[in-house]
Amino acid sequence: MTSEVAGKSGSVRVASLKIRDLKKMQNHEKRMDVSGQNRHVRDVAPLVYSDGQIDIAPPSGEDGAMWGSTLVHDYERHIAGARRNKGADAVALHAFVQFPTDLIEMDEQNERRILQAAVEFINKTHGGDAVFHARLDRDEAGRHGVDVFFAPTYEKRSKSKPQGEKWVSLTKFGKSLALSKYGQNSPAFQGRALQDAFFEFLSNDFCVEGVKRGSKKLTKDKDRVDPEVYKLNKDRENLSKEKESFNKEKRRYAHKEAQIDFIRKSIDKEKLDFENYKNSEIKRIKELSKKNNVVGFALEQYFEGKIYVNPNKNIKSSDDFRYSFSFDPEISKEEQARIYNVFKPFMNSVRNAIAFFEDMFREMRLTKEQENKLKSQYSSNVRSHLRDNGFEL
C-alpha cells in the first residue's frame, strides 16, 4: 500500500562501515561489482563530491587508476592526524539521503544542487567537518538519492592537550541531536531526530514547497532496502495490480457471458414458444377444417383474421361444439374494443347462425370433396346470414 507522503517526503538512513566496507563501496562506485552492474541502466557518469568539490567521475569501465580520487583515499586524507577509538571496528558512516521524488524535477542543475545539499545537511548535523566523499549515481533508474560518506571530527581539549587535538567520533553528534530533541539518545531516537532535522532542512534551507515529514517508524526493523529488493517488491506490487486488473476484466467478461447466455436462453425460449404457438395454430386450423367446425372457419374468414374462433368440445353432447373468440395479439386495444362493441349486439344472431349450420352438417355424411365444396358455400352463407342480421365491421 502506498504511503500518503510517498514522493513528497525525504529520508536519511545511516549505517556504519568497516574498512572492508569502504573498499566494497569503492568497487560499487566504479561499477566493479554485480549489484552496480545490475543497477546500470544508462551510460552516464556519476557526480562525485571529493576534497570539497563536485566533479564528474570518469565513465564506468575505465581504469580506476585514472580517477582523480577514490573513496578510500578521501577517507584517509580526511582522518589524517586525527585520533579515534582503536577498539571500534567501524571507521566511517554511510548515509543514503533520499530527496522527494515528486517535488524535485531532476536535471543537471538539480543533480548538483541535491548532491551539495546532502553534503551540507550531514555536515550541519554532525559537527561541520564530517563528509569526506559523496556521490550521485546518474546511471540508475532513480536519481533522487545521494550516497554520503562521513566520519565526524571535532576538537577535543584536555589538561594534557589544552590546545586541543582532532578526534573522530561516529556517535557523538547523533546522540547529541537526539538528546536535544527528545531527551533520549537510543539508536531509535537518533534516527527519529535525524529525520526531523532533514524535514526542517528541506523546508527551510533547501526550500522545497509541499514537502512532508516522512512516516515515523513503528518497529525496529530495517526500513531501507537495497534497490534490487525494492525493484523486486515493486515488480510484485505491479504484478499484483495487473493480476487484480485481469481478474476484474475476467469477472466483467464472465458477466457479459452470463448476459449473452441469458439472451440465448431467452431466444431459445421464444423459439420454443413460437413452435408451440405454431403447432397449436396448426391444430386449431385442423379442427376448424373439420365438418362440424365449418361455422368457426367461416367466421374467421368473415373477420379477416382479426378474431380467432376456437372450437371447444361440448362436454354435455358428444356431437356438439361450442366456440370461444379471441383477438389477434397485434390488434390494438382500441381496435379490439371497437370490434367487440360492434360484435356484442349480434351475439344471438351469430349463435343462431352457428346452430343453423351445425344442425345441417350433423345430418349429413359427406365425402372430402363434398366437404371442401360445402365449406366454401356455407362460409359464404354464414357471411350472408350475418349481414342479413345487420352485422357489419
Whether pTM exceeds 0.75: no
In a domain? residue 329: yes
88 and 208 share one domain: yes
Task: Write down how long the chain is.
Answer: 393
- pLDDT for 121 equals 97
In a domain? residue 175: yes
In a domain? residue 135: yes
Is residue 100 classed exposed, middle or buried when 0-12, 13-18 and 19+ CB atoms within 10 A define those classes? buried
90 and 183 share one domain: yes
Q: Which residue has the cell 343453423?
A: 356
- pLDDT for 259 equals 85
- pLDDT for 315 equals 44
69 and 182 share one domain: yes
138 and 255 share one domain: no
In a domain? residue 114: yes
For 256, how many CA atoms within 13 A lie in the half-sphere containing its CB? 6
26 and 76 share one domain: yes
Which of 215, 237, 264 is at the close of a domain? 215
What's the one-letter identity of residue 228? E
Please, are residues 168 and 82 in contact by the beta-carbon 8 Å criterion?
yes
Q: What is the pLDDT along the chain (393 residues), one digit of tens a residue?
A: 556 788 899 999 999 999 999 999 988 888 887 887 888 888 888 999 998 888 876 654 444 444 456 899 999 999 999 998 888 899 999 999 999 999 999 999 999 999 999 999 999 999 999 999 999 999 888 899 999 999 999 999 888 888 889 999 999 999 999 999 999 999 999 999 999 999 999 999 999 999 999 877 655 555 555 665 666 777 788 888 888 888 888 888 888 888 888 888 888 888 888 888 777 777 766 665 554 455 555 556 656 656 666 655 544 444 444 556 666 777 777 877 776 666 565 555 555 555 555 555 555 555 667 656 666 665 666 566 556 655 444
For residue 96, the surrounding DSSP H or E stretch is strand 92-98
- pLDDT for 201 equals 96
Q: Which residue has the cell 561489482?
A: 33
238 and 330 share one domain: no
For 294, how many CA atoms within 13 A lie in the half-sphere containing its CB? 26
- The CA distance from 48 to 29, in Å, is 10
In a domain? residue 393: no
84 and 178 share one domain: yes
Instruction: Look up the domain containing 102 and give its range.
Output: 11-215
In a domain? residue 2: no
33 and 115 share one domain: yes
Which of 260, 281, 302 is at the close of a domain? 281
Query: Looking at the 3D structure of the chain, how many domains does it have?
Result: 3
Task: Reduce the DSSP state of residue 154 to 3 states and report it.
Answer: strand
In a domain? residue 56: yes
In a domain? residue 375: yes
204 and 239 share one domain: no
Strands 92-98 and 307-313: unpaired
Strands 165-168 and 153-156: antiparallel
Q: Residue 89 is part of a domain; what is its CATH number?
A: 3.30.930.30
Which of 256, 281, 306 is at the close of a domain? 281
- pLDDT for 279 equals 79
180 and 50 share one domain: yes
- The CA distance from 265 to 122, in Å, is 73
182 and 307 share one domain: no
195 and 105 share one domain: yes
